[in-house]
Structure 1
Amino acid sequence: MAQQQQQQPNPAAIKDEGRDGRLSFRNFAEHKMRREFKDAAVEKCSEHLRAFGQCAQDNGLMVVFRCRELNKKINECMHEHNSHEAFERYIKEHSDELERRTIKSKS
């Protein structure tokens, strides 16, 4: 019985795989690039995220009041690196890669 539970795949992973399968070739490539773009934004803001995490750990339920400035810094950083305009610039800079991925996905 325990082996059956361990062998069952994660429902969230199944849902993600299914979503990728429903996307058109161009949308699939753009979706992957958006995911990479968001991961890069999180990486760029990792210092703020670590500081907020430490503040939250130190302050418990008072995190809302005592870590407000750190939360604002995270929001500003994420907005700077994860805005729609920044993604459009990223797509323009990586348009050749997007086309390569689109062509690769079709074959």
Structure 2
Amino acid sequence: MSTPDETNAPDIKAQIKDDGRDARLSFRRFAEHKMKREFKEVAIKKCEEHLKNFGQCAQENGLLVVFKCRELNRKINECMVEHNSPEKFEAYLKDHEDELEKRTLKSK
């Protein structure tokens, strides 16, 4: 006779397998991931001036960068929060739903 644990083993294995499938990137998630990278690149370009200023300050101050360039670092962070926020990305996805669908269909 089989024990209850042995009869449930296939169900448990199937559940683990299903969880693994869900964890992988689906075609839609893969397309969203690519769009998120592109969205972040645009945000970085918008904050490029702040990044250049911080880089120059870092080169001039070496190890003191943490103290001397704090304000420039704060400006980078503020700029990135403004242009790379989750809310802005959701709005970007809504504005580009057709592109997301095209990428999803192309990936299948």
Identity of aligned residues (%): 74
- How does 1:9-48 map onto structure 2 within 5 Å? 22-48=24-50
Instruction: Report how far residue 63 of structure 1 moved.
Output: 0.7
Max Rg structure: 2
TM-score by length of 2: 0.76
TM-score by length of 1: 0.77
Aligned residue in 1 for 2:73: 71
What is the CA–CA distance in structure 1 between the aligned matches of 2:70 and 2:27, rounded to whole Å?
A: 42
Query: What whole-Å deviation, never above 9, does each CA across 1:33-81 have from its counterpart, x for those lacking one?
Result: 0010111111110110010000000001111111111001000000001
Give structure 2 stretches of 5+ with no counterpart: 1-23
What is the CA–CA distance in structure 2 between the aligned matches of 1:55 and 1:76, rounded to whole Å?
A: 18
What is the CA–CA distance in structure 2 between the aligned matches of 1:97 and 1:103, rounded to whole Å?
A: 10
The Cα RMSD (Å) is 0.8
Aligned residues: 85
**Residue 51 of structure 2: which of 49, 52, 57 is its match?**
49
Give structure 1 stretches of 5+ with no counterpart: 1-21
Q: Hey, which bits of structure 1, 4+ residues long, moved more than 3 A?
A: none
